[in-house]
Homo-oligomer: A and B are copies of this chain.
Amino acid sequence: MSLPHAILTALLEKPSSGLELTRRFDKSIGYFWSATHQQIYRELGKLETEGFIRTLPPAQPARGQKKSYEVLPAGRAELARWTAASQDPRPHRDTLLLRMRAAAVVGTEGIEADLRRHLDLHRRQLAEYEEIEKRDFPPGRESSQDRLRHLVLRAGIDLETFWTQWLTRALEEFAELPGHERA
């Protein structure tokens, strides 16, 4: 139940059309809450009928025409309510850890290459985050908003750091496993 709130947040940061939102979900917000454009359009429709957002230019043209949305007071109130409400952490699901556990039973044959690939992906993501940090959060004088957003980015950086370290360690362990042949 978080996609509508992710959209409200994005729209409060800047009113946008469906496609612009999609692009922004591919970047910043999507780093911890991804969504496809189909999901976004569907949700925009719901949010509009619920009275949380409205189209920006009063004219509402036909299909294929750009349509920008802005958040209404009711939408902001709903987002504030949701943000403050207590929520239990949702269980994490991680396929790679599951495969690792399965590999302990059926053998590590073939998984190593994918571990390397993941390591590479996480390294890239980490580099991207660090680039954003350098660009958007230079040291010194940050506003309250910036501090909070920086905090969120730090979470991303630390998580990617964790994964690169863990994968590196896993590959080292593999090298020491009996029956290990490839370099």
Contacts and interface: CB of A to CB of B under 8 A. Distances in A.
Contact of A105 (B9, B114, B177): B9
Interface centre among A12, A82, A93, A105 (most CB of B within 10 A): A105
Interface size class of A (residues with CB under 8 A): 35 or more
Given A9-B102, A170-B151, A83 B110 contact: yes
Nearest to A6: B98
A105 B7 CA distance: 12
A96 to B, nearest CB: 7
B97 A90 contact: no
A83 B103 contact: yes
A15 B7 CA distance: 45
Contact of A151 (B90, B92, B110, B173): B173
A109 B80 contact: yes
Given A148-B103, A159-B162, A166-B158, A5 B98 contact: yes
A141 to B, nearest CB: 13
A18 to B, nearest CB: 19
B93 A12 contact: no
Given A9-B101, A89-B121, A151-B169, 8 more contacts: A5-B98, A32-B92, A32-B94, A90-B93, A90-B95, A104-B144, A105-B145, A144-B177
